[in-house]
Amino acid sequence: MDPTLANYRILIPAHAAVPDGTVNAWLGIAIRRHSASAWGAVYGEAMLFYAAHFADRLPSSGGAGSGGATGPLTSQRDGDLSRSYAAPASSGSSSSSDDALATTEYGRAYLDLRDSRAATGPMVVTPCP
Protein backbone atom coordinates (compact mmCIF):
# COMPACT_ATOMS: atom_id res chain seq x y z
CA MET A 1 0.00 0.00 0.00
CA ASP A 2 1.60 3.25 -1.13
CA PRO A 3 1.57 6.27 1.22
CA THR A 4 -0.81 8.36 -0.91
CA LEU A 5 -3.75 10.61 -0.14
CA ALA A 6 -6.13 8.09 -1.73
CA ASN A 7 -4.87 5.25 0.47
CA TYR A 8 -4.97 7.50 3.55
CA ARG A 9 -8.64 8.19 2.88
CA ILE A 10 -9.31 4.43 2.58
CA LEU A 11 -7.32 3.38 5.66
CA ILE A 12 -8.24 6.33 7.92
CA PRO A 13 -11.93 7.10 7.26
CA ALA A 14 -12.29 8.90 10.62
CA HIS A 15 -10.19 11.73 9.13
CA ALA A 16 -12.62 12.60 6.34
CA ALA A 17 -12.73 16.20 7.63
CA VAL A 18 -8.94 16.64 7.59
CA PRO A 19 -8.07 18.78 4.55
CA ASP A 20 -6.17 17.10 1.69
CA GLY A 21 -3.31 19.59 2.01
CA THR A 22 -2.86 18.72 5.69
CA VAL A 23 -2.83 14.98 4.96
CA ASN A 24 -0.30 15.47 2.15
CA ALA A 25 1.91 17.58 4.43
CA TRP A 26 1.95 14.89 7.14
CA LEU A 27 2.56 12.16 4.55
CA GLY A 28 5.52 14.15 3.23
CA ILE A 29 6.96 14.49 6.73
CA ALA A 30 6.48 10.77 7.38
CA ILE A 31 8.20 9.81 4.14
CA ARG A 32 11.19 12.12 4.79
CA ARG A 33 11.66 10.74 8.31
CA HIS A 34 11.78 7.07 7.31
CA SER A 35 13.74 4.75 5.05
CA ALA A 36 11.66 2.49 2.83
CA SER A 37 14.40 -0.14 2.80
CA ALA A 38 14.21 -0.57 6.58
CA TRP A 39 10.46 -1.15 6.51
CA GLY A 40 10.10 -3.50 3.57
CA ALA A 41 6.59 -4.39 2.45
CA VAL A 42 4.87 -2.50 5.30
CA TYR A 43 6.54 0.87 4.57
CA GLY A 44 3.52 2.52 2.96
CA GLU A 45 1.10 1.33 5.63
CA ALA A 46 3.44 2.52 8.39
CA MET A 47 3.74 5.95 6.79
CA LEU A 48 -0.05 6.25 6.58
CA PHE A 49 -0.42 5.44 10.28
CA TYR A 50 2.46 7.77 11.22
CA ALA A 51 0.84 10.66 9.34
CA ALA A 52 -2.58 9.84 10.82
CA HIS A 53 -1.13 9.88 14.34
CA PHE A 54 0.06 13.47 13.94
CA ALA A 55 -3.06 14.63 12.13
CA ASP A 56 -5.09 13.14 14.99
CA ARG A 57 -3.00 14.57 17.84
CA LEU A 58 -2.51 18.13 16.69
CA PRO A 59 -5.70 20.20 16.88
CA SER A 60 -4.55 22.55 14.13
CA SER A 61 -4.48 19.61 11.70
CA GLY A 62 -8.22 19.09 11.86
CA GLY A 63 -8.08 15.50 13.16
CA ALA A 64 -10.58 14.11 15.60
CA GLY A 65 -8.11 13.79 18.48
CA SER A 66 -7.66 16.03 21.47
CA GLY A 67 -4.20 17.52 21.14
CA GLY A 68 -3.89 17.89 24.90
CA ALA A 69 -4.49 14.26 25.92
CA THR A 70 -1.68 12.52 27.75
CA GLY A 71 -0.75 8.96 28.62
CA PRO A 72 -1.13 5.90 26.43
CA LEU A 73 -4.44 5.40 24.70
CA THR A 74 -6.33 2.59 26.42
CA SER A 75 -9.47 2.55 24.28
CA GLN A 76 -11.03 4.25 21.26
CA ARG A 77 -14.33 4.17 19.39
CA ASP A 78 -14.67 5.92 16.03
CA GLY A 79 -18.48 6.20 15.79
CA ASP A 80 -19.37 9.27 17.92
CA LEU A 81 -15.68 9.44 18.85
CA SER A 82 -14.87 8.31 22.38
CA ARG A 83 -11.37 7.90 23.85
CA SER A 84 -9.77 6.98 27.16
CA TYR A 85 -6.22 7.72 28.22
CA ALA A 86 -4.19 6.18 31.01
CA ALA A 87 -2.56 8.39 33.63
CA PRO A 88 0.51 10.16 32.23
CA ALA A 89 3.36 7.78 32.90
CA SER A 90 5.95 5.85 31.02
CA SER A 91 4.45 2.95 29.14
CA GLY A 92 7.67 0.99 29.52
CA SER A 93 8.67 1.77 25.97
CA SER A 94 12.19 2.60 24.98
CA SER A 95 11.65 6.34 24.49
CA SER A 96 9.40 9.29 25.14
CA SER A 97 8.61 9.42 21.42
CA ASP A 98 7.27 5.86 21.67
CA ASP A 99 5.13 6.96 24.62
CA ALA A 100 3.78 9.84 22.52
CA LEU A 101 3.02 7.50 19.60
CA ALA A 102 1.12 5.20 21.97
CA THR A 103 -1.45 7.95 22.59
CA THR A 104 -3.43 7.20 19.41
CA GLU A 105 -4.62 4.04 17.73
CA TYR A 106 -2.73 5.14 14.62
CA GLY A 107 0.51 5.59 16.53
CA ARG A 108 0.09 2.19 18.12
CA ALA A 109 -0.48 0.61 14.71
CA TYR A 110 2.73 2.32 13.52
CA LEU A 111 4.64 0.96 16.55
CA ASP A 112 3.28 -2.54 15.92
CA LEU A 113 4.53 -2.40 12.34
CA ARG A 114 7.89 -0.99 13.43
CA ASP A 115 8.32 -3.72 15.98
CA SER A 116 7.37 -6.42 13.51
CA ARG A 117 9.92 -8.46 11.61
CA ALA A 118 9.28 -6.33 8.53
CA ALA A 119 10.91 -3.26 10.08
CA THR A 120 14.10 -4.93 11.27
CA GLY A 121 15.80 -5.13 7.89
CA PRO A 122 16.88 -8.08 5.81
CA MET A 123 17.48 -11.40 7.50
CA VAL A 124 20.16 -13.79 6.28
CA VAL A 125 19.68 -17.50 6.87
CA THR A 126 22.74 -19.71 6.61
CA PRO A 127 23.08 -23.46 7.07
CA CYS A 128 24.45 -24.77 10.35
CA PRO A 129 27.94 -26.30 10.14
For residue 10, tell me if it sits in a domain.
Answer: yes
For residue 124, tell me if it sits in a domain.
Answer: no
pTM: 0.70
Sequence-ordered list of residues with C-beta below 8 angstroms from that of 71, at least 6 positions apart, any chain: 85, 86, 87, 88, 89, 103
User: Residues 105-127, buried b or exposed e (16+ Cβ, 10 A)?
Assistant: bbbbbbbebbeeebbeeeeeeee
For residue 129, tell me if it sits in a domain.
Answer: no
5-33: average pLDDT: 96
For residue 68, tell me if it sits in a domain.
Answer: yes
pLDDT of residue 66: 46
pLDDT of residue 116: 86
23-74 per-position pLDDT tens digit: 999 999 999 999 998 888 899 999 999 999 999 988 666 555 544 454 555 5
For residue 61, tell me if it sits in a domain.
Answer: yes
Domain that residue 63 falls in? 5-119
pLDDT of residue 124: 54
For residue 127, tell me if it sits in a domain.
Answer: no
87-126 per-position pLDDT tens digit: 555 445 567 889 889 999 999 999 999 988 655 555 555 5
For residue 128, tell me if it sits in a domain.
Answer: no
pLDDT of residue 95: 74
Domain count, the chain: 1
